[in-house]
A and B are shown apart, each in its own frame.
Chain A
Amino acid sequence: MALKIVKGSIDRMFDKNLQDLVRGIRNHKEDEAKYISTCIDEIKQELKQDNIAVKANAVCKLTYLQMLGYDVSWAAFNIVEVMSSSKFTYKRIGYLAASQCFHEGTDVIMLTTNQIRKDLSSPHQYDTGVALTGLSCFVTPDLARDLANDIMTLMSHTKPYIRKKAVLIMYKVFLKYPESLRPAFPRLKEKLEDPDPGVQSAAVNVICELARRNPKNYLSLAPLFFKLMTSSTNNWVLIKIIKLFGALTPLEPRLGKKMIEPLTNLIHSTSAMSLLYECVNTVIAVLISLSSGMPNHSASIQLCVQKLRILIEDSDQNLKYLGLLAMSKILKTHPKSVQSHKDLILQCLDDKDESIRLRALDLLYGMVSKKNLMEIVKKLMLHVDKAEGTTYRDELLTKIIDICSQSNYQYITNFEWYISILVELTRLEGTRHGHLIASQMLDVAIRVKAIRGFAVAQMATLLDNAHLLTGNTQRNGICEVLYAAAWICGEFSEHLEDPMQTLEAMLRPKVATLPGHIQAVYVQNAAKLFATVLRKHEGETDSHAAQETSQLLIDRLPLFVQSANLEVQERASCILQLVKYIQKLQQKKVEVAEEVTALFAGELNPVAPKAQKKVPVPEGLDLDAWINKPPSESESEDEKPKAVFAKEEPKHSRSRHTEVDEKELARRREARKQEQANNPFYIKASPSSQKVYDAPGVEHIPVVQIDLSVPLKVPGMPMSDQYLKLEEERRQKEKAERKKKEKKKKREKRGKERKADSGPESEEDITPAHQVDIVTEEMPENALPSDDDDKDPNDPHKALDIDLDKPLADSEKLPVRTHRPEVLKSPAEDRVNENIPQETKKRSGKETKEKKKGKEKDRKRSKEEKKKKKHKEVEEELLESQPEEAVQSEETKEAATPPTSTSAEEETAPSSAAAVDTSSAAAPESEPDEPKDAEPEDTKSSKHKKKKQKKEKEEKEKKKKKRHHHHHHHHHHHHSDAGGEDSVQNGTVEEEEPLPPMSNYSLLAENSYIKMMKEDADQVYDIQGNHQDESKVVVSVIFENKSDSFLKSMEFNVLDSLNSKLQRPEGAGAHDSLTVPFQLPPGISNEARFVFSVQSIVMPQKLKGTLTFIVKSDESSTHEKLDFKLHFTCTSYLITTPCYSDAYAKLLESGDLKGSSLRLEGINMPFHHLLARICFHHHFSVVERIDSCASMYSRSIQGHHVCLLVKTSDQTVSIDAKCDEPSLLGNVLDEIKQTFSKC
Chain B
Amino acid sequence: MIKAILIFNNHGKPRLIRFYQYFAEDMQQQIIRETFHLVSKRDDNVCNFLEGGSLIGGSDYKLIYRHYATLYFVFCVDSSESELGILDLIQVNLLQFVFVETLDKCFENVCELDLIFHMDKVHYILQEVVMGGMVLETNMNEIVAQVELQNRMEKSEGGLSAAPARAVSAVKNMNLPEIPRNINIGDINIKVPSLSPF
Contacts and interface: CB of A to CB of B under 8 A. Distances in A.
Given A93-B120, A93-B160, A67 B17 contact: yes
B161 A17 contact: yes
Interface in A224-251: 234-236, 239-240, 243
Contacts of B162: 9
A17 B165 contact: yes
Contacts of A277: 82-84
A171 B14 contact: no
B187 interface: no
B124 to A, nearest CB: 7
A20 B136 contact: no
Interface stretch (B22-30, B67-75, B100-108): B22-30
A19 B117 contact: yes
A198 interface: yes
Contacts of A1211: none
Nearest to A796: B58
A316 B195 CA distance: 10
Given A18-B119, A353-B46, A201 B138 contact: yes
B131 A320 contact: no
B25 A66 contact: yes
Contacts of A103: 22
A236 B116 contact: no
B10 interface: no
B193 A315 contact: yes
Interface string B29-56: 1000000000000010111111000000
Contact of B164 (A9, A172, A243, A272): A9
B169 A20 contact: yes
A9 B120 CA distance: 22
B119 A64 contact: yes
A797 B49 contact: no
Dominant secondary structure of chain A at its interface with chain B: helix
Given A320-B47, A354-B46, A69 B28 contact: yes
Interface stretch (A146-154, A205-213, A376-384, A450-458): A205-213
B198 A235 contact: yes
A104 B22 contact: yes
Contacts of A202: 134, 136
A665 to B, nearest CB: 46
B160 A96 contact: no
B25 A70 contact: yes
A126 B146 CA distance: 9
Interface stretch (A161-169, A473-481, A1118-1126): A161-169
Contact of B134 (A206, A235, A275): A206
A63 interface: yes
Contacts of B132: 133, 136-137, 168-169, 171-172
Interface in B71-111: 80, 82-85, 87-88
Interface residues of A, number: 87
A161 B18 CA distance: 22
Nearest to A134: B127
A352 B82 contact: no
Contacts of B172: 20, 23
Contacts of B183: none
Interface in B117-170: 117-120, 123-124, 127, 131-139, 142, 146, 149-150, 153-154, 157-162, 164-165, 168-169
Contacts of B189: none
A129 B149 CA distance: 12
A137 B60 contact: no
Contact of B168 (A13, A68, A129): A13
Contacts, number: 212
A69 B14 CA distance: 10
Interface string B165-198: 1001100110011000000000000001111111
Query: Chain B, interface size: which category?
Result: 35 or more
A213 to B, nearest CB: 9
B198 A14 contact: no
A71 B162 CA distance: 29
Nearest to B56: A797
A45 interface: no
A56 interface: yes
Given A96-B123, A315-B193, A316-B193, A89 B117 contact: no
Contact of A353 (B45, B139, B157, B198): B45
B160 A137 contact: no
Contacts of B194: 271, 273, 314, 316, 319
Contacts of A71: 24-25
Contacts of A797: 57-60
Contacts of A316: 192-195
A209 to B, nearest CB: 6
A322 interface: yes
Given A13-B168, A206-B134, A317 B46 contact: yes
Contacts of A133: 127, 131-132
Contacts of A13: 164-165, 168
B84 A96 contact: no
B134 A168 contact: yes
A826 interface: no
Contact of B45 (A66, A67, A317): A317
Contacts of A319: 84, 194
Given A23-B172, A235-B198, A318-B83, A69 B124 contact: no
A318 B49 contact: yes
Given A56-B160, A317-B47, A794-B59, A273 B136 contact: no
B58 A53 contact: no
Contact of B197 (A20, A129, A172, A272): A272
Contact of A63 (B1, B50, B119, B133): B119
A67 B119 contact: yes
A198 B137 contact: yes
Contacts of A560: none
B68 to A, nearest CB: 16
B14 A68 contact: yes
Given A66-B25, A96-B123, A236-B85, A14 B168 contact: yes
Nearest to A356: B47
Contacts of B164: 9, 12-13
Given A169-B132, A794-B58, A88 B169 contact: no
Nearest to B153: A88
A23 B179 CA distance: 10
A69 B20 CA distance: 16
B83 A271 contact: no
Contacts of B17: 67
B160 A17 contact: yes
Interface string B3-24: 0000000000010111010101
Nearest to B172: A20
A277 B119 CA distance: 35
Given A92-B150, A96-B124, A206-B134, A23 B45 contact: no
A356 B132 CA distance: 32
A321 B88 CA distance: 16
Nearest to A281: B82
A321 B153 CA distance: 45
Nearest to A24: B172
Nearest to A95: B127
Interface in A32-91: 53, 56-57, 60, 63-64, 66-71, 87-90
15 contacts: A17-B165, A20-B172, A23-B173, A66-B25, A89-B157, A96-B127, A133-B127, A136-B131, A168-B134, A168-B136, A201-B137, A273-B198, A275-B198, A277-B82, A353-B43
Given A67-B17, A235-B197, 11 more contacts: A19-B169, A27-B177, A66-B25, A69-B29, A90-B160, A126-B149, A165-B136, A273-B195, A355-B47, A355-B49, A797-B60
Q: What 3 A-B pairs have minimum CB-CB distances, sorted nearest first?
A: A797-B58, A136-B132, A274-B84
Interface of B: 1, 14, 16-18, 20, 22, 24-26, 28-29, 43, 45-50, 57-60, 80, 82-85, 87-88, 116-120, 123-124, 127, 131-139, 142, 146, 149-150, 153-154, 157-162, 164-165, 168-169, 172-173, 176-177, 192-198
